[in-house]
Amino acid sequence: MLEHMALNMEETVSVILFGIGFTILLLHQNLIKKIMGMNIMDTAVYLFLAAKGYISDRMVPIVVDGIQDVSAYINPVPSGLVLTGIVVSVSTTALMLALTIRLYERYGSLDLDQILLRVKEDERT
Amino acid sequence: MSRKKDNYDQSRWLKFKNWVDGDVDLLAKGMEARVPDGNTDGSGWTHGAQSLEAYEAAQEEELKKLPIFAKGFDPSVDHGLALFRKFYRFLSVLLCGSLILVLLWTVAYLPIFGNAGNPDNNEVSARYIERGLQETGAVNIVTGMILDYRAFDTFGESCVLFIASCCVLVLLRIDASSKDKQTEKRRKEAAYDRLYEPKNDIILQKCACILVPVILIFGIYIVLNGHLSPGGGFSGGAVLGSGLILYLNAFGFQKTERFFTETVYRRTTLCALTFYCLAKSYSFFTGANHLDSGIPLGTPGAILSSGLILPLNICVGLVVACTMYAFYTLFRKGGM
Amino acid sequence: MSFVQNFPFFSIIIAMFSGILSSVLSGKKARNLSLTAIGVTGILSAAVLLHGIKTGESYTYMMGHFPAPWGNEIRAGVLEGLTALLFEIVMFLAVVGGLKYTQADVEESKQNLFYIMIDLMLSSLLALVYTNDLFTAYVFVEINTIAGCGLIMIRQKGRSLSSAIRYMILSQLGSGLFLIGLSLLYDVTGHLLMSPAKEAVAAIEASGSYEVPMLVITAVVSVGLGIKSGLYPFHYWIPDTYGYATPTASAILSGLVSKGYIFLLIKIFYRVLGRENVVASHIVNVLFVFGVVGMIMGSLHAIAEKDTRRMIAYSSVAQIGYIYMGIGLGTQAGMVAAIFHIFTHSATKALLFISAVGLYEVSGNKKDYLSLRGAGYRNPLAGIGFGIGALSMVGFPMLAGFISKLLFATSALQSPHKMFITLIALAVSTVLNAIYFLRLVITLYRPAVSVEGHEISVKEKATKSSWNLRLAVLCFIVLNVILGMFSQPIVNAIGDGLMMFE
């Protein structure tokens, strides 16, 4: 089993990064670190997808010299998925950062527990 | 003989009756209200335009008062919370470890990396490689795939970018007509940002004079050559956006507003997204009804080829450039 | 190919295009465009439903010039048409019912942005209902999440911002899990479209290879979509989010947003993984357990709540527990019950939120029990609406909730292992639902008294709310009664639709 994991080194590393990013997003208290964790998680999935496309000893899927043989190029599908995924990740990061800016301006803290405490105090007054 | 109850206030019947009627906390109105400290009305902004030093001194003072520099809670006093913190750390390590172990166990059974006989190297990718050039006209097979074979996903992706920029507009745009107290404060901060942005930084400006044209031309090159070499609308748009941001940083808002205002932003995004929507709808409609779309594919390898892919790349590039620039100005000080 | 078959595609494009156009329109014009778009797509979905019933089979529609494994496609049948029609009716009535509050809560210059969110939420729900491709589903799940976040935070007062960030954090966890599940599935089968993927999965199960990845894929996709739709341990964002948003947003979020993800989960179970494989992997048992626990814990939290809007939000948690219990039963009848409960819950929860707003406005905008006393006399139509909604949630005969519970009970009788737990859980949660809902309904009709130290600023005579609120409440009541009394054709349609679903 370990040899198989060593053969699939790229997938192993991306899965470890995914777990780390997931835990940071879930359990850290600081909002900026949560956003970083979300980005680590998404980037790990793109690494996984990019690794899926690779085939040894073949070229990027841009047709050169008119060669259109299947055995000359790598799989183009995962690259397209990664392109779409990167834009989605940028959009959600921008949205979460904008929310963090507004929360900081209003409650004066980047710590999610502190913010929730202050929300409750605000409501009592 | 009746029994008199002494502790009617603590009796269960009274509690039940209060629950049915709806509890009223009569002490709540008498308690002192605590104003939350932190980023409330800063005293530095109330007077008119101050000198730069006074502004900076006021900022320093504000910064020191901010509670992110204070500790969250005191462990020596709050034992319960300290214990919870330790348990929390242990739990987080356990959760992380178990998730990684489950996924690693899966990886041990997946197909081998780089093997040509993997399940995902099947007839789907074979057709894209063998007949992609003839069917879409694009030399770059990946661009042909995302803008012709699987164009609906790319349309959805442009909409994700559009709706995210709308959400950021809701949160961060400062409108002249709004009367909210928080917006008043943010408007004053935005006015200070405009007044004190560096306009005479010689090094920045000379470098920008050289770099900005190069960056913009490079961005346009990437967008236009999306179907011939690695590139396309998204990457080219990001480069164009960064060129605009460098220009803004070097020369200031006044000079940038000569050619890029909010009206320009809105109209560009509207035209680009509308063209994308209509062109792709035409393509989907003709495709599903088995009609011929009538768009010429051109000769592969020329710039003007591959049907709709070139105009779509230009639209996507414009949208992404405007969105990147809009994110920068909105994050900085509330709008263009 | 008949022209009616183009209609699913037209509905998605109309919704998206009206969202794009609204970016340059003023608030009023954006609102009218939004309502027109929802109305037109409703008519188109009704036509698709009728076409599906007439032909008796579902069809696929190529999005582009290339057929299935190479190009994108969408698929439409009876179940998709019915679900889309119901979602559009609920969304239309929710927008109409909360019109006045939208104008008050949202800043003047940002009104058109609110209607952009509504249009794009509509388009993403339609795309999730009709799609036949996994990666398109992921992209539209993200649009749904971001539009939902926009609806929550548009109010920018009170708790809206902090509840929006908690919602986004939990949603991104779910999306990340869903995406890695998708990537693993692509790795193992090589297809992103659902029908070819199903053949590949069948071949894998037959040959016995890749057992562990298939199990992990099922688990990860279910947990990811469960987190996003508010399954029990991941429900923390629901009370804050539903309770503090503007009324239209609360109705749409509670009624429609979670249901889109649950529909996608059912679609993946049927069209990609195969229902027998999912049952054999025992993942449905996990969903069943979480569903049952959610039913009971959601009701217990609701009983403890003093703020009535948060109480209605916690009852949403319980109802989503019901739906997951139905999916967790694993049988065809259980799925039919779950889908019927999706319809019931969308219609009833939106009715509860809209009529609750009508009650608050005659009680001095206060939401606790003491202020709401006698509100049923001050605003009669809203009181009747809330009463009917509450009775439907409890399971009064002739209303929609009764039919749902009946379907759950009959489907439980067919699965011998889970029968006792299901019936006991149904009974216990009905009693708990009755406790908090009937308590509120009785409070509404008690005469108002002023307690010392707690002034109630109420009007003594009965007042009328604005016309749009009354219209919306009336239409919701009619919808609820239709779902309750004429349920048999709808249940048959769902059953037929599920047969065509695979």
Q: What is the pLDDT of residues C3-57, one digit of tens each?
A: 888 899 999 999 999 999 999 988 899 999 999 999 999 999 999 999 988 988 8
From C500's Cα to the closest Cα of chain A, the distance in A is 30
Q: With beta carbons under 8 A apart, name residues in chain B contacting A5.
A: 104, 107-108
Q: What is the pLDDT of residue B51?
A: 64
One-letter amino acid of C167: Y
Q: Of all residues in chain C, what percent carry a pLDDT higher than 90?
A: 49
Contact, C260 vs C289, CB < 8 A?
no
The label of the residue with tokens 């408007």 reads: B187
One-letter amino acid of C99: L
Q: Which of C142, C159, C192 minimises the CB distance to A88?
A: C142
**Closest listed residue to residue C119, CA positions, set C41, C34, C40:** C34
Whether C192 and A77 lie within 8 Å, measured CB to CB: yes
Give the A-side interface with C, CB within 8 Å. 18, 21-22, 25-26, 31, 34, 38, 41-42, 45, 48-49, 52, 77-78, 81, 84-85, 88, 91-92, 95-96, 99-100, 102-103, 106-107, 112, 115-116, 119, 123
Q: What is the pLDDT of residue C281?
A: 83
pLDDT band at C449 (very low <50, low <70, confident <90, very high): low
Each residue of C226-242: pLDDT tens digit?
999 988 888 888 988 88
Sign of CA pseudo-dihedral B249, B254, B260, B263: positive
Whether A27 and B92 lie within 8 Å, measured CB to CB: yes
Q: What is the pLDDT of residue B46?
A: 37
Chain A window 99-118: which residues touch B at a Cβ cutoff of 8 Å? 99, 101-102, 104-111, 113-114, 118
Whether C69 and B123 lie within 8 Å, measured CB to CB: yes
pLDDT over 90 at C359, yes or no: no
Report residues of chain B scoring pLDDT below 50.
28-49, 71
Each residue of B65-91: pLDDT tens digit?
665 555 455 555 567 777 877 887 888
Q: Which of B108, B269, B283 minimises the CB distance to C64?
A: B283
User: How many pairs of residues across A and C have Cβ atoms under 8 Å apart?
Assistant: 77
Residue B163's Cβ-side half-sphere holds a number of Cα atoms within 13 Å equal to 35
Whether C63 and B274 lie within 8 Å, measured CB to CB: no
Whether B120 and A5 lie within 8 Å, measured CB to CB: no
Q: Which of A19, A55, A91 minimises the CB distance to B114?
A: A55
Q: What is the pLDDT of residue B68?
A: 54
pLDDT over 60 at C453, yes or no: no
Average the pLDDT over C117-144 and give the result: 94
Determine the Cα–Cα distance for residues C100 and B133; give it in Å rounded to an integer.
55
Q: Work out the number of other CB atoms within 10 angstroms of the CB of residue B184.
A: 14
Contact, A11 vs A69, CB < 8 A?
no
Q: Which of C16, C71, C216 minimises the CB distance to B159?
A: C16
Chain A window 47-66: which residues touch B at a Cβ cutoff of 8 Å? 51-56, 60-63
From B75's Cα to the closest Cα of chain C, the distance in A is 26
Strand-pairing partners, residue A30, are A111
Interface predicted TM-score (ipTM): 0.95
Sequence-distant (≥ 6) Cβ neighbours of residue C172 within 8 angstroms: A25, A38, A41, A92, A96, C145
Helix axes C160-189, A77-107, angle to 10 degrees: 170
Q: Which residue of C has its CA nearest to B178?
A: C107
**Over the range B117-141, which residues count as b (16 or more CB within 10 Å of their CB) and which as e?**
ebbbbbebbebbbbebbebbbbbbb
Tokens of C17: 């295009």
Q: What global pTM score does this model have?
A: 0.89
**Closest listed residue to residue C469, CA positions, set C408, C369, C386, C409:** C386
Q: What is the pLDDT of residue B277?
A: 93
Whether C169 and A34 lie within 8 Å, measured CB to CB: yes
Sequence-distant (≥ 6) Cβ neighbours of residue C455 within 8 angstroms: none
Q: What is the pLDDT of residue B64?
A: 65
Q: With beta carbons under 8 A apart, name residues in chain C contacting B175.
A: 107, 109-110
pLDDT over 80 at C145, yes or no: yes
Tokens of A64: 């050169």
Sequence-distant (≥ 6) Cβ neighbours of residue B224 within 8 angstroms: B236, B303, B310, B313, B314
Whether A116 and C142 lie within 8 Å, measured CB to CB: no
Determine the Cα–Cα distance for residues B262 and B258; give it in Å rounded to an integer.
11
